[in-house]
Amino acid sequence: MSRTLPLAGCLATLLSMLATAHAQEAATAASSEVLLRPTTADYVQGYEATQPGSGNRILEFVPKGEDVQHWTELLTVQQFRDSAHVPPREFLDIIGKGWMQACPEASVTLILEDVENGYPIAVAQMICPNNAQTGKPEYTWLKGIQGQASLYVVQKAFRFVPDREQMTTWVRYLGQVKVCNEKDAQHPCP
């Protein structure tokens, strides 16, 4: 059975395959680095995969009653162990260029570039008024965090035009997504 991935997810998977292997130090940091994100009570995990060799990982969550083949909302959490060297803005720029190629009417906006808990982060909004694969609009917000061991990307996608309350809720959610390191005082965990 084939799945229709959100545009940014397809592009991120492609980037992951092209990335170089991570350094030995990153493997040590990985054992104590943690991605923190709020729970999503109304969502269920619909997909999980780990790429053999690299350890890159993807988790997808959908609202209860939906599945990853037929979703209206999708929350994707990705860990790219082979891309810890990639700054989050650079990653989001690559995804944005691919998004614009896949959807010529698309818009890509960098919302924020900063440092949180000692880690570089970037947040972008990507809008495709009509995804050719689904015939529906796709609104996506992505947050990339460059950890010592991995590049982490959390993405929220809608296959409809979200209202102001939905946008506010999910932008706040992304604001609470953080990376910490249990063994490094420069990146403390709560």
Confidence class for position 163, pLDDT limits 50, 70, 90 = very high
Q: At what angle do helices 88-102 and 7-18 cross, to 10 degrees?
A: 120
44, 68 contact by CB (below 8 A): no
Q: How far is it, in rounded angstroms, from Cα 66 to Cα 62?
A: 6
Name, in order, each residue with C-beta under 8 angstroms of 61's C-beta and a sequence gap of 6 or more.
40, 43, 44, 45, 46, 74, 75, 76, 77
Residue at 26: amino acid letter: A
Residue spans of beta strands (DSSP E) within the chain: 33-36, 43-50, 57-63, 73-80, 107-116, 119-131, 136-146, 151-158, 178-181
| pLDDT tens-digit map of 59-92 | 999 999 999 999 999 999 999 998 899 999 999 9
Q: What is the pLDDT of residues 52-62, one digit of tens each?
A: 988 899 999 99
Confidence of residue 2 (pLDDT cuts 50, 70, 90): very low
Determine the 3-state secondary structure of 48 from DSSP.
strand
